[in-house]
Chain A
């Protein structure tokens, strides 16, 4: 969508790089970290309950599922695509688990069903985008409607809530002390995602596909396969998030996780992942997840309603992308004036 700039201004490469320390200090991740700390301090001043360890532990619950989506979304966006169907996959997987629980399935079976429905949805997205070559935006807008639509067909205005008692472990259990199973899972997945994206051939190929798919193809990268795999990844992540969310809530409605695709995309973009593909890293996304978690929790402590919080999310998404561009523009003007 940036045809004009792509045509008129080639990418500039600086003559000399700053020192590594200076670069680290000036990096997006450092800025995010400062923001996260500032928000934490502001929260602890605004509410005396904020720094209580159990309170902080509770705070992790409202963003870990979204953060897991964001980890997979990072791969998709870096590869130059987007997946808007993740929230609907959660709804469909949750509905499938609900139906199975109704039929008397046990916890391990439910877990497997949630994960495999997620994978199946991701597979379908992958076929549409990678095999049939459809634009990801429209294809996943279609499946977004389809997946949640199926959940509505099955459930209507009903609700599933007959989950076995031990199913609650995924969303409500604790691994060690104040660290919930959800949170620990997220941390482990973040490490895995970081290693895969930054230390493996597959990770390099994801960047290559997002930067220049044609060049990647001529370099022997199986572009379609990479795209297919990243959509499988979002599907699996959505399936896992669905298991956790369903287990945490203990119920399934077709409107479960509405609008989460926005949060996942926002987290990734806030974390410094370029929306046009090819740039970004996992560390940034992880810090961004904490920033968003802290913001929503802080606003929650101040009794701000959810829909007003979503205004902040929307604003954050736009500002995070707009501010660097504005700064760049001002810089360029200043340089031109000199």
Chain B
């Protein structure tokens, strides 16, 4: 009995159940939704969210937040799209490296301000969020880069099928595997948890919490940069408002997945399931005939519900030694 209860108390089990119930409800009326082919499509569609949510979760684990990820996607996406337009001969791999490095650089700017000047992450990224998107406008002059202005290889890469799955899905799966390794098998992963879980203890344990936060922002930025390329190439268009508001989705995926915004709590599995939950809803809405305009309100309601559930869960936690007592507010 106890094991069953503890199984249900686990966020992952709860989320798997929620996803299955959701799928069952949709399938009851639209059997075509749950065909393997369509589910693979849903996963492919959610890959970008999964990756960026994992990057975001690293930042949230260290008790920070990165609101600039969507603007990062817009800026790097616009940059590689314009590079591709101006120099169609440039191999795609070069553009991917450019996107990755540029994303990491943008993340490093956030991380540096948080690390060196100790400015709260929310303020830094609220500022860089508008700066990055503004720069995307300056860079493009507000113009769009359309499909016919991009080279064929640039557009085809995420779509190319390998063993029956598009490259985009494989990148998503690879990101999940790397995240599991990073979060559970490396010193940096432990440092993420320690920094957010108990900053004081982390300092005494010899962890540089500023540097850890910096690296979390670089990671989140790098992932966003890569997704900048994937996004632009997948949707075959680059414009200033690409991924507008997507930072909220990444945070929502984390919160639904049981990542505590107070830091230090969360798992890769939870985040992935949180993103998939959102992905299923997003893909199901048009199928069951609900206007896509509902999506924003629904994800808002889900965020609030998830935070409330998280707060309940945190209250019954056992004794934590050495944690600086949180104010009982």
Contact = CB atoms under 8 A, between A and B. Distances in A.
Interface of A: 1-5, 7-8, 82, 128, 132-135, 137-139, 141-150, 152-153, 155-157, 213-214, 223-224, 227, 254, 259, 262, 265-266, 269, 275-276, 305, 307-308, 310-311, 313-315, 317-318, 321-322, 325-326, 329
A141 B248 contact: yes
**Which one of A141, A146, A313 has the greatest number of beta carbons of chain B within 10 Å?**
A141
Nearest to A323: B117
A108 to B, nearest CB: 29
A224 B329 contact: yes
A142 B200 contact: no
Nearest to B114: A1
B4 interface: no
B15 interface: no
Interface stretch (B129-137, B151-159, B165-173, B181-189): B129-137
Interface stretch (B33-41, B96-104, B294-302): B294-302
Contact of A134 (B296, B298, B311): B311
B304 A146 contact: yes
Nearest to B240: A307
A259 B247 CA distance: 13
Nearest to A224: B329
Contacts of A156: 291, 293
Contacts of B64: 1
A266 B298 CA distance: 29
A317 B126 contact: yes
Nearest to B141: A305
A132 B138 contact: no
A155 B252 CA distance: 24
B122 A142 contact: no
B52 interface: no
Contacts of B238: none
B65 interface: yes
A3 B209 contact: yes
B11 to A, nearest CB: 16
Contact of A325 (B118, B137, B307): B118
B329 A223 contact: yes
B282 interface: no
5 contacts: A1-B114, A144-B248, A145-B303, A305-B142, A308-B137
B297 A5 contact: no
Contacts of A7: 199-200, 203
B194 to A, nearest CB: 12
A132 B291 CA distance: 32
Interface of B: 63-65, 113-114, 117-124, 126-131, 133-135, 137-138, 142, 199-200, 203, 209-210, 240, 245, 248, 251-252, 255, 261-262, 291, 293-301, 303-304, 307-308, 311, 324, 327, 329
A215 to B, nearest CB: 10
B329 A213 contact: yes
A251 B165 CA distance: 47
**Which one of A142, A213, A266, A307 has the greatest number of beta carbons of chain B within 10 Å?**
A142
B66 to A, nearest CB: 12
Contact of A138 (B133, B138, B199, B255): B255
Given A134-B307, A269-B123, A317-B126, A149 B327 contact: no
B295 A142 contact: no
Nearest to B134: A311
Given A4-B209, A146-B303, A315-B131, 11 more contacts: A128-B307, A137-B261, A148-B296, A153-B297, A275-B120, A307-B142, A310-B134, A314-B127, A318-B113, A318-B123, A329-B117
B199 A4 contact: yes
A82 B209 contact: no
Nearest to A157: B293
A271 to B, nearest CB: 14
B130 A143 contact: no
A301 B114 CA distance: 35
Contacts of B248: 141, 144-145
Given A128-B304, A139-B307, A156-B291, A314 B261 contact: no
Contacts of B203: 4, 7-8
B327 A213 contact: yes
A224 B294 CA distance: 33
Contacts of A3: 63, 199-200, 209, 324
B130 A265 contact: no
Given A134-B308, A138-B307, A313-B130, A147 B117 contact: no
B130 A146 contact: no
B317 to A, nearest CB: 14
B23 to A, nearest CB: 23
Nearest to A212: B327
A263 B119 CA distance: 18
**Which one of B122, B126, B261, B301 has the greatest number of beta carbons of chain A within 10 Å?**
B126
Contacts of B123: 265, 269, 275, 317-318, 321
Nearest to A261: B126
B118 A314 contact: no
B130 A149 contact: no
Contacts of B200: 3, 7
Contact of A149 (B114, B137, B300): B300
A149 B134 contact: no
Contacts of A133: 311, 329
A209 to B, nearest CB: 9
A3 B197 CA distance: 12
A8 B199 CA distance: 12
B18 to A, nearest CB: 18
A264 B113 CA distance: 21
A322 B199 contact: no
A137 B122 contact: yes
Given A128-B304, A137-B65, A311 B209 contact: no
Contacts of B329: 133, 213, 223-224, 227
Contact of B296 (A152, A224, A227, A313): A152
